[in-house]
Structures are given as C-alpha cells and as structure tokens.
A and B are shown apart, each in its own frame.
Chain A
Amino acid sequence: DADVTQTPRNRITKTGKRIMLECSQTKGHDRMYWYRQDPGLGLRLIYYSFDVKDINKGEISDGYSVSRQAQAKFSLSLESAIPNQTALYFCATSGGRETDTQYFGPGTRLTVL
C-alpha cells in the first residue's frame, strides 16, 4: 500500500465551486505539505504543517485553506475555484529529521472550467 495517498486523483469542476483535496499518510511523519505544479514551473508551496497545531502559509496561499485533522491527514480546500487554479496538486510528508526528505503522494489533477 502507498505511504502517502491523495483523493481524488482527478477532478473537473466549475468556477465558483468549493473543492476539497485530501491527503493521508501512514509514514508516521509529523510534517505535511501541499504543493501545486504548473507546466514549466517548479513546485510551489501552498501550505505546510509541522504538527497538528502548527499550520503555516507558503509561497502561494491566497485562494486556498487547509485543515490538519490528525497527524495522518491534511486537507486542502479551494473555497471558490477559479480557472487559474487548474494544476497538478501534490501532498508531501517529511519526518523532520536531519535530512528532512519529503515524500510525495501521487497527485491530484484539478481542472477548473
């Protein structure tokens, strides 16, 4: 079974709709992250959480919100989706140790019409 899972894997929605993307992990990691990836651009950090009570904005948090329901679960919401939020979204986790290597979920491809 995959260590980091994301649901849904693909989603098509309309402008103005509320969307939630979910991430779960079985790696026992405290740190979780949400990124978006657009063609030709690097991964951009939306939000990150170092533990259940610690949530921080990343580089591009406008238009997004998150919820850390438990150590293993981190959800990303788009309150009112817009077309330029069409992208590939990745959740990642890390153990916060020396190297702090991040491990990624399979991604959610979101299209906003």
Chain B
Amino acid sequence: GQNIDQPTEMTATEGAIVQINCTYQTSGFNGLFWYQQHAGEAPTFLSYNVLDGLEEKGRFSSFLSRSKGYSYLLLKELQMKDSASYLCAALDSNYQLIWGAGTKLIIKP
C-alpha cells in the first residue's frame, strides 16, 4: 500500500531551527511536496523535490533521498508565524498526490 509517515506534533523555540521528517512508500514516485497549513486555512505550497539533494528557499529548505524514501523540511530562524501544520505529499506513478496527516509545529517564545 501507499503510505506517508510524519510526526504528529513538534515543538520548537522562536529563533531556533527545526527539522520535520517524512518517509514515504508509494507505487512509483514523481516528486515530493511540502505544504504549510495554518489552522482552518488552505494548504499553501512550500516546496517540490524530485531529485536527490537539498533545495533552499529563504528560511525554508527541503531535502530528498529517493533511495531511502525520505524527505525533510528544515525551518531556520523560526518565527511565531511559522506555527502551523506542515504537510508532506508524494506524487505516485499515476501522478496522484498521497498525503501525510501533517505535523503540527508549535513555536514557543
């Protein structure tokens, strides 16, 4: 079956760095997405990785290892507004997105 695993909840301190991990098992693979979702709002696109390695975009970076079925989202210089859920999703061989349940990130002052 197809499956995405990510931690349910994480806590970090304002100004610090946090890494949110995601492992995936899909029928084929055409890329890995990260979305941010504030409570009660729509998910918004953060990043897409299809090749191994690190993609950096400002304070946010995303890493992919296809051989390990593993990705992480790295958030630097955390701000209170980063408190949100972070959704990992893998694109399978039929170009369908398989979604994880999301990681709720709590930022403390």
Q: Given A42-B4, A43-B87, A99-B31, do A104 and B44 touch, yes or no (CB 8 Å)?
A: yes
CB of B97 within 8 A of CB of A102, answer yes
Per DSSP, chain B at the interface is loop
- Verify if B43 is at the interface (C-beta below 8 Å from A): yes
Contact indicator A42/B95 (Cβ below 8 Å): no
Among residues 43 to 84 in chain B, which have CB atoms less than 8 Å away from a CB atom of chain A? 43-45, 48, 50
CA gap between A104 and B41 in the complex, in Å:
10
Query: Do A43 and B91 contact each other (CB < 8 Å), given the known contacts A99-B31, A99-B48, A101-B48?
Result: no
A42 contacts B42, CB within 8 Å?
A: no
Whether the Cβ atoms of A104 and B43 lie closer than 8 Å is: yes
- Interface 1/0s, chain B 82-97, versus A by CB < 8 A? 0000010101000111
- Whole-angstrom distance between the alpha carbons of A109 and B89 in the complex? 23
B42 touches A104 (CB 8 A): yes
B95 to A, closest residue via Cβ = A100
- Whether A107 and B41, one on each chain, are in contact in the complex, defined by CB atoms closer than 8 angstroms, is yes
Which residue on chain B has the smallest CB distance to residue A96?
B95
| Alpha-carbon distance A76/B30, docked complex (angstroms) | 28
Contact indicator A90/B87 (Cβ below 8 Å): no
Q: Is B105 in contact with chain A by the CB < 8 A criterion?
A: no
CB-based contact B99/A42 at 8 Å: yes
In the complex, what distance in Å separates the CA atom of A107 from the CA atom of B8? 22
Are A103 and B45 in touch, CB under 8 angstroms?
yes
State whether the Cβ of B12 lies closer than 8 Å to any Cβ in chain A. Answer: no
Asked whether, in the complex, the Cβ of A42 is within 8 Å of the Cβ of B41, the reply is no
27 A-B residue pairs with CB within 8 Å: A40-B101, A41-B101, A42-B87, A42-B99, A42-B100, A42-B101, A43-B43, A43-B87, A43-B89, A43-B99, A45-B96, A45-B97, A88-B40, A90-B43, A100-B95, A101-B33, A101-B45, A101-B48, A102-B33, A103-B45, A104-B42, A104-B44, A105-B42, A106-B41, A106-B42, A107-B40, A107-B42
Binding site for B on A (CB under 8 A): 40-45, 88, 90, 99-107, 109
